[in-house]
Amino acid sequence: AQSVTQPDIHITVSEGASLELRCNYSYGATPYLFWYVQSPGQGLQLLLKYFSGDTLVQGIKGFEAEFKRSQSSFNLRKPSVHWSDAAEYFCASRRSGTYKYIFGTGTRLKVLA
Amino acid sequence: GAVVSQHPSRVICKSGTSVKIECRSLDFQATTMFWYRQFPKQSLMLMATSNEGSKATYEQGVEKDKFLINHASLTLSTLTVTSAHPEDSSFYICSARGDLTTDTQYFGPGTRLTVL
């Protein structure tokens, strides 16, 4: 069955440090992949998405993600984390043949001052 | 662009009453709207998918008579939690996609429901 895995439940980084959040998907064809961020008590904001083309995708707030078919991964990166980046991050894939999403379990990012 | 609103943001109700949550796409026509439920510190669980002018499609295990969904226009969908019980307390989030947004869903800010 199609699935999205975020191996890290919690990640803590110092402000100014680089960040990489992992996301793995299981799907035979090229999936439609998304990263969303959720601040406490808020809805989800789209950071970036990948459908096809250039495998390095630029998003908002200085985030980028790289699609690697060989590793079935779509990891999210940011070169220098800001305290305001502390939030929950969700990776999602569009379910094959539908417009429904499959969400990963989320990674909670904590940023140390 | 692609803004989705939800109302109310928070609601507290007594057990046995019904609560209606509205989801609106403000600057695009939402062909499809989705309703999710999110438990504390967990991921989003899709409850149902609604297309404008047709009946909602519910995910397995979701009671359609308890969670009534109406998608009466291209900009509005409503979720009514009927005969609410404390176990219905949760964070409910809607999302919408339109013909122009295609495969991307845009999410509302969520509604915190507390049933006493």
> Tell me: the pLDDT tens digits for A31-83?
899 999 999 888 899 999 998 889 999 999 999 999 999 999 999 999 999 99
Tell me how close the Cα of A14 comes to any Cα of chain B, in angstroms.
22
Do you find a cis peptide bond into A40, omega within 30 degrees of 0?
no
> What pLDDT score does A61 carry?
95
Contact call for B43 and A32, based on CB within 8 A: no
* Mean pLDDT, residues B4-20 taken together: 96
pLDDT class of A105 with cuts at 50, 70, 90? very high
Q: Are A26 and A11 in contact (CB under 8 A)?
A: no
* Residue B102 in this model has a pLDDT that exceeds 80: no
Q: Based on the number of CB atoms within 10 Å of its own CB, is B68 exposed (0-12), middle (13-18) or buried (19 or more)?
A: middle
> What pLDDT score does A91 carry?
96
pLDDT class of B98 with cuts at 50, 70, 90? confident
* Residue B58 in this model has a pLDDT that exceeds 80: yes
* Residue B100 in this model has a pLDDT that exceeds 70: no
**Chain A residues near residue B107 by CB distance under 8 angstroms:** 36, 43-46
Within 13 A of B18's CA, how many CA atoms are on the CB side? 10
Q: Is B112 on the interface with A (CB under 8 A)?
A: yes
Average pLDDT, chain A: 92
> What pLDDT score does B1 carry?
67
> What pLDDT score does A31 carry?
82
Among A8, A44, A49, pick the best mutation site for testing chain B contact (most B Cβ within 10 A).
Answer: A44
* Mean pLDDT, residues B86-94 taken together: 95
Of residues A31 and A111, more confidently modeled: A111
* Residue B34 in this model has a pLDDT that exceeds 90: yes
3-class state of residue B2 by DSSP: coil
User: Residue B65's CB: how many other CB atoms inside 10 A?
Assistant: 8
Contact call for B104 and A99, based on CB within 8 A: no
CB-closest option in A46, A99, A103 to B32:
A99
CA B104 to chain CA mean position, Å: 17
> What pLDDT score does A92 carry?
94
Distance CA B33, CA B59 (A): 14
Of residues A78 and B52, more confidently modeled: A78
Distance CA A23, CA A66 (A): 10
Count of CB contacts below 8 A, A vs B?
Answer: 48
Tell me how close the Cα of B17 comes to any Cα of chain A, in angstroms.
24
Distance CA B80, CA A81 (A): 40
Q: Is B49 on the interface with A (CB under 8 A)?
A: yes
